[in-house]
Amino acid sequence: MNRKEFSDKVYAIVLDIPLGSVATYGMIAFLSGYPRRSRMVGQALHHAPDFLCIPCHRVVNCHGRLTPGWADQKQLLSNEGIHLKENGCVDLKKYLWNFAFRGEL
């Protein structure tokens, strides 16, 4: 699979994350069929074209940490009813996407 195909697959998966939920880079990598490519997921999202309107703010790391240097992510999550714990991380037990109900699974 080339980089564009991988990115397109990542975008399609992230578009499936429901409002009020988050996913991790590792989950997206797993769902894409490449479980060891979580960093590539991050790169794909970083380079996502604006016109696609990918809800990248719904993707956090495996500890629920937000993307460093992206000040708007916290507000975008808050607008969807996702509130951060005192340590600034998303409570994954509460907000993690249950992707088992995703169409092709």
**CA dihedral (41, 7, 37, 19) positive or negative:** positive
Q: pLDDT digit string (tens) for 26-75?
A: 999 999 999 999 999 999 999 999 999 999 999 999 999 999 999 899 99
Please list the active-site residues: 56
Q: What is the CATH number of domain 3-96?
A: 1.10.10.10
pLDDT for residue 102: 57
Give me the mean pLDDT over the 9-18 stretch.
97
**Positions of E strands within the chain:** 23-24, 59-60
Give the SS3 label for residue 31: helix
CB of 29 closer than 8 Å to CB of 69 = no
pLDDT for residue 105: 41
